[in-house]
């Protein structure tokens, strides 16, 4: 009995100690009032909502996207969120996947007008769903890596030197829950989102001494124009698996990921499924507080148990669809 009491007392003291020293290793939150935030893919969806959320905090915004018409419309929506008459929204049309020189040029242009970039949000992205054989080995695989991966590498490279000189900054990579778990129909898409995590982990280790913090956001299916377009060609199996998690609104996602980026959190997950996945797959990812690390240690076993039930359900969906498809083919042959 005495041993149990001593162990319990030790755990309590240990946890209290963690909470006490946690603020000492956590980054100082970034203030957005007067800060310059660049958002790629900012003309619609999650990117636009992130820009609006930052504007509500008093930031100056540079929206970067390909479609000039959509940029103009997004600018009007963002401007409605102003909290003072000094705020500015700058729009720049460029394809961030087309090469570093173009991206570097527009980032310099934005910094000349609105000052050094305090926070970069890499939200430009696209999705292609389909089985491994259906997608085929063609230009689409290259396009996904160019947009989803290199489209984040180029803007980050363009702002990182100035951030290091100023000893401050935030960089966000908007990945996906498909960047935490590979699912049926995402053999082309998931790798391009998984790649962002590898980049972010290595970059965070390089940038932490300069007070620059990296955040990787893993939003679930979100009600955006891109999601609607993806659903047009999404395989049945992928759609059924996705429906187990529901669909989030972009405004909800924006609030969560902006808050995490300002706090300097490495991982930003939305909803209970997102939290479970991020904790379950944390591996060697950096943490910004001892409390976060302790939570991951405590919940790992439980989350793995829950995940096994999910995986069993997903496998069942895939098998059921395969059987239905084969029965349909057999019926067509008989006819």
- Would you name the residues annotated as active-site residues? 175, 189, 193
CB 228 within 8 A of CB 250: no
d(CA 329, CA 331): 5
CB 224 within 8 A of CB 253: no
CB 257 within 8 A of CB 123: no
d(CA 117, CA 60): 10
Which element (helix H / strand E) includes 102?
helix 100-114
Cα-Cα end-to-end distance for the chain: 76
Q: What is the CA radius of gyration of the chain?
A: 22
Angle between helices 45-55 and 68-79 (to 10 degrees): 30
d(CA 320, CA 301): 29
d(CA 124, CA 135): 21
CB 122 within 8 A of CB 155: yes
């Amino acid at each position: 009995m005495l041993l149990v009491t001593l162990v319990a007392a030790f755990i309590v003291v240990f946890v209290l100690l963690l909470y006490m020293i946690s603020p000492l290793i956590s980054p100082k939150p970034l203030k957005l009032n007067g800060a310059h935030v660049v958002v790629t893919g900012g003309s619609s969806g999650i990117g636009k909502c992130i820009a609006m959320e930052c504007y509500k905090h008093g930031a100056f915004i540079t929206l970067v996207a390909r479609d000039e018409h959509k940029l103009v419309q997004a600018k009007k929506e963002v401007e409605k969120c102003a909290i003072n008459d000094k705020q500015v929204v700058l729009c720049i049309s460029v394809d961030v996947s087309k090469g570093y020189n173009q991206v570097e040029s527009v980032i310099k242009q934005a910094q000349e007008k609105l000052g050094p970039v305090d926070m970069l949000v890499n939200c430009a992205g696209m999705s292609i769903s389909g089985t491994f054989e259906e997608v085929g080995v063609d230009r689409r695989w290259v396009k996904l890596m160019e947009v989803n991966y290199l489209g984040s590498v180029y803007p980050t490279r363009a702002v990182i030197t100035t951030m290091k000189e100023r000893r401050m900054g935030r960089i966000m990579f908007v990945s996906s829950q498909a960047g935490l778990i590979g699912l049926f129909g995402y053999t082309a898409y998931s790798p391009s989102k998984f790649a962002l995590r590898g980049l972010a982990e290595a970059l965070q280790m390089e940038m932490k001494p300069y007070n620059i913090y990296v955040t990787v956001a893993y939003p679930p299916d979100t009600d955006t124009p891109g999601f609607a377009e993806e659903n047009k060609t999404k395989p049945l199996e992928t759609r059924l698996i996705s429906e187990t998690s529901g669909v989030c609104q972009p405004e909800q996602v924006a609030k969560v990921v902006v808050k995490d980026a300002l706090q300097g959190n490495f991982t930003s997950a939305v909803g209970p499924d997102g939290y479970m996945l991020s904790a379950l797959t944390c591996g060697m990812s950096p943490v910004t507080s001892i409390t976060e690390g302790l939570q991951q240690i405590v919940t790992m076993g439980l989350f793995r148990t829950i995940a096994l039930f999910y995986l069993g359900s997903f496998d069942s969906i895939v098998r059921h669809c395969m059987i239905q498809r084969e029965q349909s083919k057999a019926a067509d042959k008989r006819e």
